[in-house]
Structure 1
Amino acid sequence: MAVETSLLTKKRTHVRFYVLLIIFIITAVNYADRVTLSIAGTQVSKELGLDVVDLGQIFSAFGIAYLVMQIPGGWLLDKFGSIKVYSFSLFFWSLFTLLQGFVGGLSISAAVLSLFMLQFMLGFAEAPAFPANARIVAAWFPAKERATASSIFNAAQYFSLAIFSPFLGWLVYAWSWKHVFVIMGIIGFVLTIIWTKFVHNPFESPYASREELDYIEQGGGVVNMDQKKSARQGPKWNYVKQLLSSRMMLGIFFGQYFLNTITWFFLTWFPIYLVQEKGMTIMKVGIIASIPAICGFLGGISGGMVSDLLLKRGCSLTFARKAPIVFGMLLASSMILCNYTNNTVLVVALMALAFFGKGFGALGWPVIADTAPKEVIGLCGAIFNMFGNVASIVTPLLIGYLVKGLHSFNAALIFVGCSALMSMLCYLLVVGKIQRLELKKVPE
């Protein structure tokens, strides 16, 4: 075996692409675990006697924990490294997903409380995942490949909805809502084993050749990010103040909040909107919900590719990043037009167009790769993700109250569509020139 490994590493390998593939798959499962309750929501509500406000509160439990844990999660990543923290994160979010499948045997009040707490713990465990993705891509990919790699792992959320929405919808229809959580938990445990066996830091990987490591390092990859010395030091907390004092970074952070409002509408209320507002069956919703998700996936990949193409053709970094964002957010706002038609085909087409636009303009993670100070990539990604996921609390709750108070989703769609326009304005009016932020050094 040692001889085979030695022979393998004599030529340039492409381990970074296998690492990206594993990140992509795990991120898809990460988002599937978030959407399980949404897919099962109608059946759970009937069995446990929940109204839309109760369901909105349970949805928001994930967002509360996810938000609170962002900065601690980023600190853990910068201190202990991406690989180790990700392993624990993946194991525990899979456990909390699986346990939700067993609350049906409890009394109604106990089941509701248990769902709330398990959604809270799910958010707690998943918090380091996206900042870890950004750190791993920064370590494994040279600068000229990093934007495309970031767009690929970010597009996993749309791929997840496209693949898992019909699968989970079928599980709810054919078996019961409880099986959705159990099966997704088991899938997570299998991926935990794969992660610990095959994913390493660049210089610790038994599979990567010296030639590949040199190529990554010479191209700007931060291959030494998680060496023991820097891990012990961890980030300086004064850096948080510097990040929050930068107009450019604040524009990026708030832009992600408005963008994530669209994400959380699709993750939580979209299937319920199709059932309650458009009268579709759960089985049909599982299939229909995958159409906008496929379009979002295609938009997510093509947005990154267009941005890189603009760079290669000599456009400035600022234009190459902002142009797809502006175009994408304009398309995303088109979902408001669903309020003016009852034609199911047209509604699905408009939602597909909106989700394509959302994906096309979702360049926040590549922008973070362009702008985050090298000393605190994990922490900067965590703050970015924290701002973005304020929407995971606000969106489910606000839409729940809007639907209950107005007896329709019309105001909810206006709210989400206007959020897309606000994200566009953050990049146009606040961010300014996109460039890497240089931090003032903090004395030891």
Structure 2
Amino acid sequence: MEMDRAVSPAADDRTSRNSAVMEAGNLSERMNLNTSHARAVAPTKVRYLVLLALFFVTAINVGDRAALSITGSAIIHEFNLSPITLGYMFSVFAWAYVIGQLPGGLLLDRFGAVKVYGFSLLLWSIVTALQGMMDLLSPMLAVAALFALRFLLGLVESPVYPANSRMVTSWFPAKERGIATVIFNSSMYLSIALLAPMMGLIAHKFGWQAVYWTMGALGIGMSMVWFRFVKTPKTHPWVNAAELAHIESGTTPSKTDISKGAVKHKPSLKDLKVLLRSPMMWAIYLGKYCDTSLQYFFITWFPIYLVKYRGLNIMEAGALASIPALSGLFGALCGGAVSDALLRRGASLTLARKVPLVCGMTLGGTLLACNFTDSIPLIIAVMSLAIFGKGLVAVDWTLVSDTSPREIIGLSGGLFNMIGNLSGIITPVLIGYVITFTGSFEGAMFVVAGHAFVGALAFLLMGRVCQLTLGDKK
């Protein structure tokens, strides 16, 4: 009996260890079964719904900033503005947009794209609606208020494209980012193709003020959808384990946008040294600057060019502007598809990015041919070819994901967009001065085409595309 009592503790210990081993084995077996089950379950496709949301929100964003180009001829008449004044009104948006890029990028890195984007959408939609109330003021006050509201619009819209890039990085693996990036980027062209005729019709039938009320209401409604539906991958109830594993394959997602943990690296402006010391990045920034010159010409002066210098009415200009826009949309989709196809066939990342970028910028310069014809159909055809080239360059936002340290991708996207949109400050004003002093639009075409050819050269010479790390600043 004493022996049994003496031995029993050791026996109990062995029994306990055996039970633990069996339990561990059962747990391991259950985990393997769960993993096998997760692999057998098809991944959900929520990332494409999120991409669709990005597409529509970006289309609204571009439509809001382009509303002045559609209503510009009516505003010139009502408030007796000169082309130079209108050029500055276009430019003041870009001033604020540029100023807001780095602070917006820091907000994205610290608070995540979902929250920052949603509040930005709501605020810029309210500002857009307010622009339709300027006729309630005296002409002098109305012009001053339009300048102030355009500045505020640029400020609250500043996080949009860096947020798009960040969300694509969070929701898509590297092999799918090319086409995903150009899809949200191509929304600019669909916005012009669909919203420009709509805004032209509204302005023609109901007055220019109704354009801003309509666009503001559209954005406010979309913000409600955004806050309800758009979330991060790990917090979205519709995402299953298989899709999450697919998203995280081949990428190192940002903590703020993928998971709930604390951010180990707190981004600051000091991190910009990594980007500003890289010759590769400066070539990319110059290319982006030149690319954005074409963009601002198209969404600011092009409809006015058709009305004031080619004799069309505002509704005809809105409708005809949609044709090059559709060409740009097709170009953007082609650029992303070509880039991803080259990667799948084993081409280097550098070649896969350079082909659409260099070819696209070169085609963008063909708009210079508009100076040598008075045929409206031929002008639209030439502009369509140039905007198709501009569309190919939509793949340029993949360079942010390709080159940026993951910890500061929002800040990097902000810097990329800031330098690009310096062109938005300069190009509209420069065109206004050229028109005023020459009395024609021909010089403006030389300005825009020159930017296109310089951009092609910059992308050609940017060197090997590679990802930087924060360690590079040491």
TM-score, normalised to structure 1's length?
0.95
- Provide structure 2 residue ranges, at least 5 long, that are not aligned to the other structure: 1-39
Is 2:138 the partner of 1:103? no
Aligned residues: 435
Partner secondary structure for residue 331 of structure 1: helix
Match of 1:167 among 198, 201, 209: 198
Q: What do residues 283-314 of structure 1 show as CA deviations (whole Å, max 9, x unaligned)?
A: 11011000000000000111110111111122
Rounded to whole Å, the distance in 1 between the matches of 2:263 and 2:473 is 17
Preserved CA contact (<8 Å) 2:265 2:407: no
Partner secondary structure for residue 218 of structure 1: coil
Q: Name the structure 1 match of 2:417.
A: 385
Displacement of 1:375 after TM fit? 1.3
Name the CA shift for 1:374/1:421 in 2 (closer, same or farther; >3 Å): same
Q: Name the structure 2 match of 1:282.
A: 314
Name the CA shift for 1:117/1:215 in 2 (closer, same or farther; >3 Å): same
Q: Name the structure 2 match of 1:258.
A: 290
Displacement of 1:404 after TM fit? 0.5
Displacement of 1:54 after TM fit? 1.0
Displacement of 1:234 after TM fit? 2.8
Displacement of 1:224 after TM fit? 3.4
Aligned-residue Cα RMSD (Å) equals: 1.6
Name the CA shift for 1:212/1:281 in 2 (closer, same or farther; >3 Å): same
Preserved CA contact (<8 Å) 1:82 1:135: yes
Displacement of 1:88 after TM fit? 1.1
Preserved CA contact (<8 Å) 1:300 1:356: yes
Rounded to whole Å, the distance in 2 between the matches of 1:351 and 1:78 is 38
How do 1:30-429 and structure 2 match up within 5 A?
30-220=61-251, 222=253, 224-226=255-257, 227=259, 229-231=261-263, 234-429=266-461
Rounded to whole Å, the distance in 1 between the matches of 2:84 and 2:55 is 33
Q: What do residues 395-423 of structure 1 show as CA deviations (whole Å, max 9, x unaligned)?
A: 11000000001001101001101101111
Counterpart residue type for residue 352 of structure 2: A
Rounded to whole Å, the distance in 1 between the matches of 2:176 and 2:126 is 34
Rounded to whole Å, the distance in 2 between the matches of 1:327 and 1:257 is 16
Rounded to whole Å, the distance in 2 between the matches of 1:239 and 1:251 is 19
Displacement of 1:233 after TM fit? 5.0
Counterpart residue type for residue 387 of structure 1: I
Preserved CA contact (<8 Å) 2:67 2:212: yes
Rounded to whole Å, the distance in 2 between the matches of 1:433 and 1:11 is 37
Displacement of 1:360 after TM fit? 1.1
Displacement of 1:323 after TM fit? 1.2
Counterpart residue type for residue 422 of structure 2: V
Preserved CA contact (<8 Å) 1:79 1:230: no
Preserved CA contact (<8 Å) 1:139 1:225: no
Structure 1 moving runs of 4+ over 6 Å: none
Preserved CA contact (<8 Å) 1:53 1:400: yes
Q: Name the structure 1 match of 2:49.
A: 18
Preserved CA contact (<8 Å) 1:335 1:413: yes
Counterpart residue type for residue 455 of structure 2: S
Rounded to whole Å, the distance in 1 between the matches of 2:459 and 2:261 is 37
Counterpart residue type for residue 333 of structure 1: G
Q: What do residues 257-287 of structure 1 show as CA deviations (whole Å, max 9, x unaligned)?
A: 0000000000100000011111111111011
Preserved CA contact (<8 Å) 2:292 2:421: yes
Displacement of 1:439 after TM fit? 2.2
Rounded to whole Å, the distance in 1 between the matches of 2:182 and 2:270 is 30
Name the CA shift for 1:104/1:308 in 2 (closer, same or farther; >3 Å): same
Rounded to whole Å, the distance in 1 between the matches of 2:158 and 2:231 is 20
Displacement of 1:236 after TM fit? 3.2
TM-score, normalised to structure 2's length?
0.89
Rounded to whole Å, the distance in 1 between the matches of 2:394 and 2:184 is 12
Displacement of 1:13 after TM fit? 0.9
- Provide structure 1 residue ranges, at least 5 long, that are not aligned to the other structure: 1-8
Rounded to whole Å, the distance in 1 between the matches of 2:135 and 2:52 is 35
Rounded to whole Å, the distance in 1 between the matches of 2:59 and 2:320 is 18
Partner secondary structure for residue 351 of structure 1: helix
Counterpart residue type for residue 82 of structure 2: D
